[in-house]
Structure 1
Amino acid sequence: MTTSTSTFDIAGWRGALLTALLALAFGFLGAALWSLTGLADNRTRAYLLDNPSILQEVAEALAAEDARERLASVSDELFTPFPGAVIGNPEGSKVLVEFTDYNCPYCAASLEDVTRLVAEDPELKVVMREWPIFDGSEDSARMALAAGMQGKYREFHEALFRMGDTSPSGVEAAARAVGLDMDQARIDAASEAVGLELVKNLTFAQALGFSGTPAFVAGDTTIGGAVGYEKLKEALDDVET
């Protein structure tokens, strides 16, 4: 559907956006005082529109505050892993949460970054949240959690990404390759505990506003996408231990 410029007031829309940002940034009372003092005249609007970085900074500050509020809503439970679903030091003082899917190529690309972070920091604990959002991913997510219950989450996680086959036979091949007790793994993968974990992870992801994988949480910072080693390291360095 094409919007006609004759019926859409571009200038009015930009002015409304500016007013909304000012109201949110300074509070409605502050915005009102701003207006009464005469500062919110056309010159001020022109200045801000000519310097869009100011609006960008306001938007980023609001997004950061929203992320903190979303994190507060899920509290410490987010940082408590499903049994065994951890990479790195299970008792580490610094925590990174990762939402992952075995059919996600960007998750596969991020594996190297997470592996490097773990190798460099003996205090890093990576809490893995299986979030099977692609078709055909649930079997692999369930088997990963079953592997965690046998103390072999990381081995399975790396093997499945390396082998790249998330079909039922491929998932079992990866499980056998890392030495899982297959009878027990099948029972655990189909268990209520694993099913509840997948529902919980979906709930966490929705509460945090994530739209895809991979997604990360470091302290009070949420990160969506395969952002690379440097950005993850920077977020972790800002976390107080």
Structure 2
Amino acid sequence: MFTTARQASRPRGIVRMLLIAGLAGWFLLDSGAREPAIAAGEISHDELDQRIHDYILAHPEVLVQALQSLDQRQRQAQAAQVKQVVKTRADDLFRDKRSPVGGNAEGNVTLVEFFDYNCPYCRMMAPIMDQAVAGDPQLRIVYKEFPILGPDSVFAAKAALAADKQGKYAAFHKALYGSRTRVTEAAVLKIAADAGLDVDRMKTDMQQPDIQASIDRNTELAQALGITGTPGFVVGDQIFPGATDLATLKKLLEQARTRK
């Protein structure tokens, strides 16, 4: 099961708010349909409103059913939209030469990850991703730096992309996730030195326009896909937000293979 910070902090009163909105919508949407009966003198506005009111009080489950139906339709529409974006942006998503690649670069299934080095759920996923790669010789990983948690995260993302220019992205990526504290600018520089990077060169490369351009592209792509938090995964033509366990991840990868 996927878990995100947003889901964990979702207001408890949202269901009540939706029910109230649904009740209001019932009256608004029904107004056009009831006019013929009112015009014909069969029933007054007040009487019809009272009947609707009484029916909803007697059968409140209809609001829940309506909201469930609306939610299902929205999910279906979103899934269709995502598939279209994945199809039209496949090169940016799966074959962008400026995005670091892990696992088997020629693998038969690709897992795209949008992440932030200061995201606790991303950090939780790091060893699971390592296990997935170790257990699946045909798994290809595309890393999308998506720093959304402040300036420290942006600095870390730029440093990681600069490390890729030195051929040390994988080692640096793993070292950043190995940090037990927030990845600050000072921590990034120390981790880079410990990982054997040329820190001065890294600092220079971090200022290159292509580094910021990569982050901007990833941000725009995430928005197009509806990814608003981290981690966010794309497998085949589907999006899976949040952290998960290894068994679920393996299942998703196998499903993607069968859909090819």
TM-score normalised according to structure 2 size:
0.70
CA contact under 8 A between 1:131 and 1:141: conserved in structure 2?
A: yes
2:32 matched to which residue of 1? Answer: none
Give the distance between the partners of 1:9 and 1:49, measured in 2 at CA: 9
Q: 1:10 is matched with which residue? A: 23
- 2:105 is aligned to 90
1:214-240 C-alpha deviation (Å, 9 max, x unpaired)? 001000011111133233222211223
Shift of 1:187: 1.6
> How far 1:76 moved relative to its partner?
2.1
Matches within 5 A, 1:81-160: 81-83=96-98, 85-135=100-150, 136-160=152-176
Question: What is the CA–CA distance in structure 2 between the aligned matches of 1:10 and 1:65, rounded to whole Å?
Answer: 29
Contact kept? 1:213, 1:225, Cα under 8 Å: yes
The letter for the 2-side match of 1:105 is P
The CA deviation at 1:125 is 1.1
SS in 2 for 1:180: coil
Match for residue 161 of structure 1 among 154, 177, 196: 177
CA RMSD of aligned residues (A): 3.1
The residue type paired with residue 123 of structure 1 is Q
CA deviation after TM superposition for structure 1 residue 47, in Å: 8.8
Please say if residues 165 and 171 of structure 1, whose CA atoms lie closer than 8 Å, have aligned partners that are also in contact: no
Number of aligned residue pairs? 210
Q: Deviations over 1:136-165 (max 9, x none)?
A: 211100011111122211111111111244
Kindly report which structure 2 residues correspond to 1:1-241, keeping only aligned pairs within 5 A, or say none.
Answer: 10=23, 12-13=25-26, 58-83=73-98, 85-135=100-150, 136-163=152-179, 164-240=181-257
Q: Percent identity?
A: 35
Question: SS state of the match for residue 230, structure 2?
Answer: coil
Gap regions ≥5 residues in structure 1: 17-41
Most deviating of 183-192 and 121-130: 183-192
Are residues 52 and 151 of structure 1, via their aligned partners in 2, closer, same or farther at CA, if it must alter by over 3 Å?
same
**CA distance in 1 between partners of 2:232 and 2:185 (Å):** 25
> 1:101 and 1:9 mapped to 2: Cα distance?
37
Query: Shift in Å at residue 75 of structure 1?
Result: 2.6
Partner Cα separation in structure 2 for residue 126 and residue 153 of structure 1: 13
Output one character per residue of 1:182-212: Cα deviation in whole Å (capped at 9) or x when no partner.
2221121111111110100001000001111
Whether contact under 8 Å (1:84, 1:151) holds in the other structure is no
2:176 maps to amino acid: L
1:172–1:82: structure 2 CA closer, same or farther, 3 Å change rule? farther
Specify whether residues 13 and 229 from structure 1 end up closer, same or farther in structure 2 by C-alpha distance, changes over 3 A only.
farther
Which has the greater radius of gyration? 2
Shift of 1:99: 0.5
Compared CA separation, residues 191 and 14, structure 1 to 2 (3 A)? farther
Moved more, 132-141 or 81-90: 81-90
> Taking structure 1 as reference, are residues 76 and 15 closer, same or farther at Cα in structure 2, changes over 3 Å only?
farther
SS in 1 for 2:160: helix
